[in-house]
Amino acid sequence: MILLLILLPVLAGVISFFIRPGWMLRSILLATAGFHALLTGGTWLRQPASVLEEWLFLDAPGRLFLSITSLLFLVTSVYALGYLMREDWGQRQDFEEGMLFTNARESVFVCCLLIFLGMMTLVTVSQHFGLLWVAVEATTLVSAPLIYFHRHVRSLEATWKYIMICSVGIALALLGNFFLAVAATTATGHDHVPLLVNSLVNGAANLSRPWLKAAFIFMLVGYGTKMGLAPLHTWLPDAHSESPSVISALLSGALLNCAFLAILRINQVCIAAGLAEYGKTLLLGFGLFSMLVAASFIVKQLDFKRLLAYSSVEHMGILSLAVGLGGDGVYAAMLHAINHSLTKAMLFLVAGNILAVYHSKSTTDIRGISSILPINGVLWIVGFLAITGSPPFGLFVSELLVLKAALDQGHVAIAMAYLGLLGIVFIGMAAIFCRMVQGYPAELPTFDTSQLVPNRTVATASRFFHESPLSVLPPIVLGMLVTLLGLFIPSPLQQTLIRAAATVSGQ
Amino acid sequence: MGILFFTSLGVIQFSGLFALALGRQSRLANSVGSGGALVGALIGLVPAVRLFFTGQIMTVYRPWNIPYGSLSFQIDALSAFFLLPIFLLSAVCAAYGAQYLLPYRETKNLGASWFFFNTLVVSMALVVTARNGILFLMTWEIMSLASYFLVTFEHEKNQVQHAGWIYLTATHLGTACLLALFVLLARESGSMDFDRFESLRFHTDAIAGMAFVLALIGFGTKAGFMPLHVWLPEAHPAAPSHVSALMSGVMIKTGIYGLVRILEFLTFPEAWWGGVLMIIGLTSGILGVLFALAQHDLKRLLAYHSVENIGIIAMGLGLGLFGIATRHPVLACLGFAGGLLHVINHALFKGLLFLGAGAVLHATHTRNMDQLGGLITRMPWTAGAFALGSVAICGLPPLNGFISEFFIYVCSYAALGSPDISGPAGAGIIMGLAMIGTLAVACFTKVFGVVFLGVPRTACAEQAHESGWIMVVSMIILALGCVGVAGAAPWIVSLMNPVIARITGFSAGVVHGHLTIIQQPLESVTRISALLLAGIAGLALIRHRLLARKAVAQSPTWDCGYSQPTARMQYTASSYAQPLTRMFGAFLQTQCQYAAPDGFFPQAQSHLHTHTDDLFTRRIYEPVFRTMVRLLHGLYWMQQGHVQVYVLYIAITLLFLLVWTL
Amino acid sequence: MNILHPLLNPILALFLAPLLPGIINRTKAIVAGRTGQPLLQLYYDLFRLFQKSAVYSLTVSPIFKAGPLVGLACIVMGLTLVPMGGIPSLFGFAGDLVVLAYLMGLARFFTVAAALDTGSAFEGMGASREVQFSVLAEPALLLGLAAISQVGLIRPLTALPTAIPLESLSEMLARLSMSVWMADGTVLLLTSAALFIVMLAENCRIPVDDPTTHLELTMIHEVMVLDHSGPDFGMILYAAALKLWIFLALLAGLLIPVRTGNFWMDGASILIGMVVIAIGIGVIESINGRLRLIRVPQLLAGALVLSVMALVMVLWG
Amino acid sequence: MKLWTETLIVLLILTNLKLISSSRLSACIRIVAVQGILLGVVPLLAGQNPLTWRIASLAGLTMILKGMVFPWLLLKAMRSANVRREMEPFVGYSASLIVAAGLLGFSIWMGRQLPMPFAVASPLITPMAVFTIMIGLFAVISRRKAVTQVLGYLVMENGIYAFGLSFAQQEPFLIELGTLLDVFMAVFVMGITIFHINREFNHIDADRLNALRG
């Protein structure tokens, strides 16, 4: 079952590389996504057996992150359906700099997307650090063409930075793996503990402390680069702002979590080896610094997709902080990961819709979304409220629990900094989001002029912008899920969350 | 009892949803939304009122699949005391709003507006009944958000957008403190349930003090304690008037509720708590009314008056805290009773005044008082109701505002006799209250005089007309409420026994014993009020007799011989307030733009324009925010676009961590 | 004490109040060496005014007509709360001093509203000044009374008094016997000075306001009632006289420490005191000029400071 | 054995120093090729285990990929981009050497902080690997051309790989192979990107790719 989960998207991806007709590609995409989601759902009913000598095993945190990934992929692939159908495959003009560009081939897009899914699945089920590393590296490589889908200079620049920075980061993580291997080698130099999470946790007492510490640093920095912890996050705003919104949603919602999972795994080993305090300090530091950096870039941010990317940095910071705090914080981190993924994906999808109509990413120029795109306007505001942790959305609960963890552990200064930074982010985002939604656009977006009748007035303009179901339903579904999580956490999920928290905090 | 309560909430919420679903069918959505709110709120009044007669506390507890959450509600005396104005004012504002919003039916989505209005009502009711920290915070924040969307009803105006942002920011920062507060309480008690908080006895003063300060900031932001009040003068003018009335009348009182509820958990208050609250009360009261005096915008002025009245409430609560801390149960009972009674009174007259302001706005399309005048002949009902509200808000007898201030006065005079710190506190409050009272008189004679009396200054005032009957009836109901509370004052005291007992933790008998002290004076006040009204009637009769057989002449106003008086020569709001604004110029810092007439026959138009910004916004918040933005932008160098630099960050991080930890 | 005794003050006031302005004016005339108005001039004026018809401005509303009624009714009700030294007031109760001050506030509200109703710039000007001065006068009044309420109390030495007394004006004033004066004389003098200034301001006397001036630009109270005529104006004048009575009665109660318990003796001493104070006002008016408007708040602030000092002395002295 | 190992280590360090002090790109690529071949020798020398077919094949594959395929790919990219020299790097060549000396010191410090828990061929292997990684990072940071940055990345990978081959041989083959494959893919993807950059911008100056900021 686990193998099927991985191989299904990979194979589908490989097949789709050789297919030309758009409709076939789209149906492969959707079918794979659906089937993958079904399989993932199946893992909730029946625990899949471990395969490859326990290298692949779906434990509670893995299942949690796999489910997020699979769900997001399904939702975004429905959105991608509409997106790909809408996309103009010929040469067209870039709206920012006015140059001509084309898209990558649709088959390349679908192929990479599906392999991307396969690799993320692999990350979630890998119990072996080496394999985990391979999977994370593979996600970087397959997502690069996705970011460079619109073939223009800015996306190219973003792709280059993405590859360069993430590769360097991942290389460091590899060194971390080797350090871990050294740490796991016994004094004779011949016998060693296999690099499986469970084996390492069980044999933690025999691990060499300095090497484990070094391994943790390298993995933290390495995977932290991928996860987007400041100051290693620098690729994130570029890649998110220049890639198609579907991809941004997946990067933010699924990929970052995968890197987070990798950090959790090594942290788990550290805790077992008695280095809990050491790991906590680093995670706390990274968490707070990420929040600070994100906050300072969110305030008066001029590009709303970059804004969302910085918001991801902020939330990765919260996740790191929460795990660093321990106690309730670990549970909160698990819950927060779900909530953040759903909300951020929703926001990116809505951002895609806004971008498609306004042809601008400027937070200062866009006005009156609610007057011409009423559903998207509502979704944009809902997303804003959800991502900033307002009730009744899920992030409220998880962010509150993080605060509780901080105060329970007696970290008053951290709690204050956390609240203060959340407050700054809220203020900054409120200023931007509300202004975007409210009022009327200064001039109507002129993209599909055929849909507009002459003498249109601003007040009646909404009738001429069609909000297609494929573009608004996916974010609506995500929004409803995140609202539901704020009001009620279903029992199976609750149990998995608790077990996941127990696993990653080494109990 | 619980069923009735939840039925009422259900009716309100579902009618809101239904109105939302009706969406563009504005007229229908309008009726459904407001009708549902009206009916639901009236139903909701029943359990609240019944509690005072039966004394039966309603409790509902359900587990909730949210960490530390439980669906736990309770209507006790304190909740019921706040539910009364919430439901009453909601019902009145809903009815009023139905007519008020009709002109917007073409341009606005009224369904959405009513959805948020009804959500606001429901969330307020839930806030004052929630018995679990998570539940409380959720309903609290939903209340804030619903009111935010109501404030931004006319979101196409830049000013409204700005006001909305300020409100959202303020309320969110306040909530942040509340999060910390509840988490702190949960840490001490091990649960988020209020019942567990109650069993908590804070022996560590530091923790209790911290909780008090957090509550003060968190709830104070919503209530509008100075200097946390800055959102009020922005949000209230921006919101539609029935919403302003509801927000100013009851929503900000949920802040008072929260504070009082938290005080109930913190059993052993210290004297400095009372001192802080009292100083806040004095500051809010005096500065609130001063800033009100300097305003030209009718609704902004009323918003500042909310700050003032919250200040009066804070003084009452501060005295109450003093009383508990220094073991003077009389002070505790009278202080809390006065503060809480003022909550209801303020809800009534401020609701009335905002509805009146709305009627004026509806009729003249301007909030600038200097463009109005003479409306009393055009809108007699509105003018009458507004006059009554003005007298009430000034705290003058024979209306309800006086009753609560009387409590606080009596309490302060009583405090004078005590040898400890309560004495000076009482003296401070007497002086503050006296000053607030006279300033309020100055302010409301200005409002009433400039808006309703004299002759119209502009065409928009000239063409004004009386509002629709629903709006008028709504105002009259609130006006009757003001009179009713004043008339029933001696009986209301006994109704407040359980409320005060709940807060102070004294037994009902003790509270009753202390509150009866004021029973007899209140009866006297009522008697004097009645005699006063009779006296006025008698004098009117006498004058009528005296003038009966004589020819009563009419002539233009005596203008000291000037031959061609125009309406523009009347005293304006600004000129009326000028002596006082100059006297307190150090606080108000009114900015003045003045172009003097030049030469014997001035050609260029001369003009004078004064503007009084909020002192705290201008001197504290704006500089602080600017500094924050500048500091945060200090990190902009991080993201300059050079991939080499980005890799350098990775290298530096790595080296730093290695050197630091290895 | 006889149940009828408390009626003394209201009844005397209703009949004798118009005499007080007469006394002041006579004093001023004598000091200035003029013949002056007759002592009973105000009675004649009132009589004439009540006989006359009224002229109303074209712009006014019922508020204008309500102004004098409310003003007079409030002052009359105020009378029932004022004791004459040791003789209790008619309706005294704990906290009645607040009601007294606020009744005057209500009267002010309606007088000012009536002034604004005419739409005249001059009346607006007067109204504006009236409310400005009251902002300082009223705290001075209430704090001064607060100081009195603490004079002569047996203050508990323990930190926890079992009951804190709530008193009426009558009880407060009844306590001010000679012995109390001996003990707390400074406090009472300070308070009296403060109340005296408040009285001057509230009753539009020099140096705050000049009731005899005819320059509208400088007037305060008189300018507010420019448009009232006939019975309305009569009521206003009568109310003003009653208000003066109230303040004089309070001041006399404060300054004359005759508390024999004998009704006639106490009453007479207070009455004499009132006449003396009225003569004093006349003398002050003769030898002082009206202050510039901008200086008036300073005078009133001075009164406020006096009250605060009195209170501080009585609380910590 | 130790002699050979240490000779190899010194050679690797020297290649690193040479790399950051030369301005001609083709020379740099050649140095990296030499480093790749030297790296292929590491598993043959550093391991304690007897030579197995696994290690031999790994060594062969390393030599082929790192010593031939990558340099060839890069040379091709360089030619197509028509760049010959690294002009005005952020850090000059002499300064680079000083920095390199500092990094060498750091690497030796780190080697001392992390003593091997078991017997090894030479205590200098860890410092050498760390130094190579640091030089790689330094090249990425201090050089302008995209090609040079890829070179830097490759050197960094070489360092990691050297470490892995020396000490982590117990780890299954899959990891090593996977590592190699990944590096291969990375370079491949980077090469493609450089090709695109060259096409879109007519230059491959990575530092001029700075439109996205803030």
pLDDT one-digit tens code per residue, B120-150: 999 999 999 999 999 999 999 999 999 999 9
CB A262 within 8 A of CB A132: yes
Q: How confident is the model at residue A188 (pLDDT cuts 50, 70, 90)?
A: low
Average pLDDT of the residues of chain D: 79
Specify the range with the lowest mean pLDDT, choosing from B163-177, C95-109, C139-153.
Answer: C139-153
Give the three-state DSSP class for C45. Answer: helix
Per the model's pLDDT, the better-predicted residue between B98 and B328 turns out to be B98
Residue B310: both structure tokens together: 């919250």
Torsions phi, psi of B136, nearest 5? -60, -50
Of A440-444, B190-194, B394-398, D146-150, which gets the smallest average pLDDT?
A440-444
pTM of the model: 0.92
Neighbors of chain C with 3 or more C-beta pairs under 8 Å: B
Is pLDDT at B513 greater than 60 in this prediction? Answer: yes
Partners of residue B400 in chain C, C-beta under 8 Å = none
Nearest CA to CA, how far is B397 from chain C (Å)?
A: 7
Q: What tokens appear for C43 in the block?
A: 């009675």
Residue D191 covered by a domain = yes
Strand pairing report for B553-555 and B70-75: unpaired
How many other C-beta atoms lie within 10 A of the C-beta of residue A487?
A: 16
Could you tell me if B381 and B470 are in contact, meaning their C-beta atoms sit under 8 angstroms apart? no
Residue A283 lies in a domain: no
- The dihedrals phi and psi of A411, each to the nearest 5 degrees, come to -85, 75
Residue D52 is assigned to a structural domain of this protein: yes
Among A325-334, A399-408, B504-513, C10-19, name the one with the lowest average pLDDT: B504-513
Torsion, Cα of C20, C26, C29, C34 (10° steps): 150
Give me the domain span that covers residue D123. Answer: 2-207
What values do phi and psi take at C84, rounded to 5?
-110, 90
Residue A454 confidence (pLDDT):
43
Q: What is the pLDDT of residue D171?
A: 60
Q: So what's the pLDDT on residue A260?
A: 93
- Provide the domain count of chain D: 1
Minimal C-alpha gap between B351 and chain C (Å): 21
Which chain B residues touch D114 with a CB distance below 8 Å? Answer: 662
SS3 B610: strand
| Structure-block tokens of residue A447 | 């993209």
Across chain C, mean pLDDT equals 86
State the Cα torsion B249-B255-B257-B263 to the nearest 10°. -150
Question: What's residue D55's pLDDT?
Answer: 74
Query: How high does pLDDT run on average in chain A?
Result: 86
Q: Mean pLDDT over residues A58-80, rounded?
A: 92
- pLDDT confidence bin for B614, thresholds 50/70/90: confident
Nearest CA in chain B to D135: B651
In the predicted structure, residue A507 carries a pLDDT above the cut 90:
no
| Pairing mode, strands B553-555 and B591-595 | unpaired
Work out the percent of chain A whose per-residue pLDDT is above 70. Answer: 93
Residues 6+ apart with CB under 8 A from A225: A165, A166, A168, A169, A170, A172, A232, A233, A235, B650
Chain C residues whose beta carbon lies within 8 Å of the beta carbon of residue B396: 102, 105-106, 109
Rounded to whole angstroms, what are the CA distances from D110 to A221, B16, D131?
17, 67, 10
Would residue A431 count as lying in a domain? yes
Average pLDDT over residues A272-294: 90
Residues of B in Cβ contact (< 8 Å) with C66: 536
Highest mean pLDDT among A31-35, B605-609, C205-209: A31-35
Do residue B651 and residue D149 have CB atoms under 8 angstroms apart?
Answer: no
Both tokens assigned to C123: 């009346």
Q: Would an 8 Å CB–CB cutoff place D88 in contact with chain B?
A: no
Task: Express each pLDDT in C56-113 by its tens digit.
Answer: 888 888 899 999 999 999 999 999 999 988 888 888 888 889 999 999 999 999 999 9
Chains B and D in direct contact, meaning 3 or more beta-carbon pairs closer than 8 angstroms? yes
- Average pLDDT of span B389-414: 90
More confident residue, A21 or B253: B253
Q: What is the pLDDT of residue B541?
A: 93
Which has the higher per-residue pLDDT, A120 or D151? A120
Asked if B644 lies within 8 A of D141 by C-beta distance, the reply is yes
Range of the domain at A484: 293-447+457-507
Q: Which residue is associated with the tokens 């030209």?
A: B296
Give the pLDDT of residue A452.
42
Mean pLDDT for chain B? 88
Q: Is D132 an interface residue toward B (CB < 8 Å)?
A: no
Q: Which two tokens stand for residue C81?
A: 């709360």
DSSP H helices in C33-120: 41-51, 62-79, 96-117
Full 3-state SS string of C262-298: CHHHHHHHHHHHHHHHHHHHHHHHHHCCCCCHHHHHH
Instruction: Name chain B contacts of A179, Cβ cutoff 8 Å.
Output: none
C-alpha to C-alpha distance for D211 and A161, rounded to whole angstroms: 12
Cα–chain center distance at B184 = 28
Chain A neighbours (≥3 Cβ pairs under 8 A) are B, D
What is the pLDDT, as a whole number, of residue A459?
A: 44
CB contact under 8 A, A187 and D193: no
How many angstroms separate the Cα of A252 from the Cα of each of A352, A421, C82?
Answer: 14, 20, 78
Q: Report chain B residues whose CB lies below 8 A from the CB of A234.
A: 638-639, 646, 649
Q: How far is CA D179 from CA A132, B570, C155, D151, D172, in A?
A: 12, 89, 91, 17, 11
Give yes or no for a contact between A13 and A114, defined as CB atoms under 8 angstroms apart: yes
pLDDT at B194: 85
Neighboring chain A residues of B655 at a CB cutoff of 8 Å: none
Of A460, A464, A459, the residue nearest A448 (C-alpha): A464
Facing residue for B554 by CB, picked from C50, C58, C153? C58
pLDDT band at C161 (very low <50, low <70, confident <90, very high): low
For residue D188, being part of any structural domain is answered with yes
Task: Report H helices in B23-107.
Answer: 26-54, 77-100
Q: Do chains A and D touch (3 or more CB pairs under 8 A)?
A: yes
Kindly report, residue by residue over B272-317, the tens digit of the pLDDT.
888 899 999 999 999 999 999 988 899 999 999 999 999 999 999 9
Q: Which amino acid is at B648?
A: L
Closest partner residue to D118 (CB to CB) among A167, A171, A188 is A188
Are D21 and D93 within 8 A, CB to CB? yes
In this prediction, residue A70 has a pLDDT band, given cuts at 50, 70 and 90, of very high
How does residue C157 score in pLDDT terms, banded at 50, 70 and 90? low
Chain C window 40-99: which residues touch B at a Cβ cutoff of 8 Å?
A: 50, 52-61, 63, 66, 68-70, 72-74, 76-77, 80-81, 91, 93-96, 98-99
Count of CA atoms in the C-beta half-sphere (13 A) of B458:
14
Inside any domain, residue D213: no
Nearest-CA residue of chain B relative to D206? Answer: B643
Measured between CB atoms, does D177 come within 8 Å of chain A? no
Q: B633 vs A295: CB contact, 8 Å cut-off?
A: no
- Other CB atoms within 10 Å distance of the CB of residue B56: 11
Chain D residues 41-60 with a CB less than 8 Å from chain B: none
**Interface subset of C 193-252, CB within 8 angstroms of B:** 216, 226-227, 230-232, 235
- Structural domain count, chain A: 1
Residue B242 amino acid letter: H
Q: B650 contacts in A (CB within 8 Å)? A: 165, 168-169, 172, 221, 225, 231-232
Collect all residues of chain A within an 8 Å Cβ-Cβ radius of residue D209.
156-157, 160-161
Per the domain annotation, does A248 fall within a domain? no
Q: Which residues of A touch D149 (CB under 8 A)?
A: 164
A448-499 confidence digits (pLDDT tens): 444 444 444 444 444 556 678 888 899 999 999 999 998 888 989 999 999 9
Place of tokens 């009100």: B292
Report the pLDDT averaged over residues B479-508.
88
Q: What's the average model confidence in pLDDT over C206-216?
A: 73
A431 φ/ψ angles, rounded to the nearest 5 degrees: -60, -40
d(CA A446, CA A451) in angstroms, rounded, equals: 10
Residue for token pair 């959202």: B168
The residue type of B314 is A
Residue type, B124: M
Q: With 60 as the cut, is the pLDDT of residue B1 above it? A: no
Give how far A269 is from chain B: nearest CA, Å.
17
Whole-angstrom distance, CA of residue B302 vs CA of residue B236 = 8
The pLDDT tens digits for D45-94 are: 755 566 677 777 778 888 888 888 888 888 887 787 777 776 677 888 88
Answer for the pair B552, C53: CB distance below 8 angstroms, yes or no.
Answer: yes
- What pLDDT is attached to residue A450? 43
Output the CA–CA distances (angstroms, integers) from residue D201 to A100, A152, C274, D208, D213, in the order listed. 13, 10, 101, 10, 18
Which residue type occupies B189? Answer: S
Q: Is the pLDDT of residue A131 over 90?
A: no
Would you place residue B104 in the very low, low, confident or very high pLDDT band (cuts 50, 70, 90)? confident
